[in-house]
Amino acid sequence: MTGQNKTGPIEATIAAAALFAQRGWVPATSGNFSVRTGMNRMAITASGRDKGALTAADFIAVDITVELGTTPPGVSAEAPLHAALYARDGAVGAVFHVHSPAATLASQARLANGHIAFEGYEMLKALAGIATHETRVALPVFANDQDIPALAARLMPMLPDGPGQVGYLLAGHGLYAWGRDPAEARRHVEAIDFLLTCELEKERLAR
Ligand SMILES: [Zn+2]
């Protein structure tokens, strides 16, 4: 497939995962990363790998039409959540998932609310479709579930469309964010984690 510049999508994903690992967002082999490799194909990280030391050999090719409801051997258990996002929107080119402290804590605190609203932040402009800080983006928060295929089927109809809608939280678990390519998915993870960190700190300051 055509990569941007000289870096292919797998290499860009490996670099993003290494950065996230340095920041403590994918501890203890948590998190998973995928890129679209065709209309109905994705390459996703194998389960149990150190996301700070990925190589191209750690990615497994998966048919999203076949694997929407199942998890092939060796593939990340959360593969159906990735497959569902590619199936839902043909423009999605990469899906990144992290277990950052900010995503884990903020999602637990706001599960009852159903979303976390970001308003007035310059950083909102890092989200696709947002051109000004004078806006409000509600990041959805859903309950976690160990039945991943059922979770994927339940979540997709609940995901809102619109400017800045490029991710969601699973309560006490972490953040899913996506983009048209790995660079955009990386930017979205970084921006949303920054916004979550700001919201958590704002609550602390208000006490
Ligand atoms: Zn996870």
pLDDT tens, position by position, 81-104: 999 999 999 999 999 999 999 999
User: How high is the pLDDT of residue 76?
Assistant: 85
Asked if the structure places residue 104 within a domain, the reply is yes
Least reliable range by pLDDT among 67-71, 120-124, 154-158: 67-71
Asked if the structure places residue 174 within a domain, the reply is yes
- Ligand 1: centre distance to CA 32 (Å): 7
pLDDT surpassing 50 at residue 132: yes
* Residue 44's CATH number: 3.40.225.10
Query: How many domains, in total, are found in the chain?
Result: 1
- Ligand 1: centre distance to CA 124 (Å): 24
Closest CA to 189 of 139, 152, 150: 139
User: How high is the pLDDT of residue 198?
Assistant: 97
- Ligand 1: centre distance to CA 77 (Å): 9
Q: Average pLDDT of 171-187?
A: 98
Can you tell me the distance from the alpha carbon of 3 to that of 177, in angstroms, rounded to the nearest whole number? 20
User: How high is the pLDDT of residue 1?
Assistant: 46
Domain of residue 156 covers 9-206
User: How high is the pLDDT of residue 2?
Assistant: 47
User: How high is the pLDDT of residue 135?
Assistant: 95
| Per-residue pLDDT band at 7 (split at 50, 70, 90) | confident
Q: What percent of the chain has pLDDT over 90?
A: 87
Given a contact cutoff of 8 angstroms between Cβ atoms, the answer to whether 151 and 161 are in contact is no
Q: Average pLDDT of 134-163?
A: 95
Closest CA to 62 of 80, 47, 82, 42: 42
- Ligand 1: centre distance to CA 39 (Å): 24
- Ligand 1: centre distance to CA 85 (Å): 15
Asked if the structure places residue 97 within a domain, the reply is yes
- Ligand 1: centre distance to CA 12 (Å): 20
* Counts for the chain of helices (H) and strands (E), in that order: 6, 8
Can you tell me the distance from the alpha carbon of 162 to that of 138, in angstroms, rounded to the nearest whole number? 10
Q: Cβ-count burial of 139 within 10 angstroms (0-12 exposed, 13-18 middle, 19+ buried)?
A: buried
Can you tell me the distance from the alpha carbon of 27 to that of 119, in angstroms, rounded to the nearest whole number? 29
Asked if the structure places residue 2 within a domain, the reply is no
User: How high is the pLDDT of residue 3?
Assistant: 44
Closest CA to 106 of 139, 75, 128, 67: 139
pLDDT tens per residue, range 157-170: 999 999 999 999 99
Average pLDDT value for the chain: 93
- Ligand 1: centre distance to CA 14 (Å): 17
Asked if the structure places residue 13 within a domain, the reply is yes
Distance of CA 176 to the CA centre of its chain: 2
- Ligand 1: centre distance to CA 6 (Å): 30
Asked if the structure places residue 49 within a domain, the reply is yes
User: How high is the pLDDT of residue 75?
Assistant: 87
pLDDT surpassing 70 at residue 67: no
User: How high is the pLDDT of residue 69?
Assistant: 58
Q: Cβ-count burial of 1 within 10 angstroms (0-12 exposed, 13-18 middle, 19+ buried)?
A: exposed
Q: Average pLDDT of 152-161?
A: 94
Asked if the structure places residue 176 within a domain, the reply is yes
Half-sphere exposure (Cβ direction) of 135: Cα atoms closer than 13 Å: 17
Q: Average pLDDT of 188-200?
A: 98
Can you tell me the distance from the alpha carbon of 161 to that of 169, in angstroms, rounded to the nearest whole number? 15
E strands, the chain, are 32-38, 41-45, 59-63, 94-98, 115-119, 136-142, 167-170, 174-179
Given a contact cutoff of 8 angstroms between Cβ atoms, the answer to whether 182 and 7 are in contact is no
Asked if the structure places residue 3 within a domain, the reply is no
